[in-house]
């Protein structure tokens, strides 16, 4: 079991370093379920351990898990490549598990600067740059996974990933609505 996890982690690192694609992962629904569960556990742990992170939202976690699954399920059905769903989702959630412990604390550290924009107190440049680099890298990895899975041009993969992220934000916004006190 431990050997299998080490092999999975190695393949996910290869994907994150753009040396491999989702096709290098086993097409196992059990593994996909494990990686989705691990993604949720890491999200909860990061929120619990990093004091500046906004409070944990079970609804947000549920939506950010279900919407991509449905988005890709429909897309693979329309592209007539449903056999690629499991490996692709395992790659996307697995890479997210690796990036989340870095991206979330950086976002939490920059959040006060974003919420209360004060020209006399700009956000730390190094932290902002690191956050930007890691976020762009995660986006590039996601686009490469989508491109490999669908065999699309990069432009189509970029549009697809952006639309999927926008769909998650819109669904969360529709479910939560306006915060109390705002009209």
How many CB atoms are located within 10 Å of the residue 112 CB?
12
Residue-range domain boundaries for the chain = 2-176
- Please list the rounded mean pLDDT of every run of 10 residues in the chain (183 residues): 82 95 94 95 86 74 94 97 96 96 88 81 91 96 97 96 95 74 46
Long-range CB pairs of 78-82, under 8 A, 24+ apart, other chains included: 79/150, 81/149, 81/150
Residue 180: what pLDDT?
A: 52
Rg (CA), the chain: 17
């Amino acid at each position: 079991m431990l050997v299998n996890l080490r092999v999975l982690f190695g393949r996910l690192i290869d994907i994150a370093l753009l040396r491999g694609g989702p096709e290098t992962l086993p097409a196992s629904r059990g593994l996909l379920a494990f990686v989705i569960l691990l993604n949720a556990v890491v999200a909860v742990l990061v929120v619990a351990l990093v004091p500046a992170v906004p409070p944990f939202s079970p609804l947000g976690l549920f939506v950010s898990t279900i919407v991509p699954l449905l988005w890709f399920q429909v897309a693979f059905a329309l592209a007539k490549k449903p056999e690629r769903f499991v490996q692709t989702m395992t790659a996307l959630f697995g890479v997210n598990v690796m990036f989340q412990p870095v991206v979330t604390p950086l976002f939490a550290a920059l959040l006060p600067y974003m919420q209360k924009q004060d020209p006399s107190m700009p956000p730390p440049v190094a932290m902002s740059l690191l956050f930007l680099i890691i976020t762009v890298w995660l986006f590039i990895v996601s686009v490469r996974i989508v491109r490999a899975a669908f065999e699309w041009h990069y432009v189509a993969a970029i549009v697809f990933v952006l639309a999927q992220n926008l769909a998650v934000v819109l669904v969360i916004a529709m479910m939560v609505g306006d915060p109390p006190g705002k009209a």
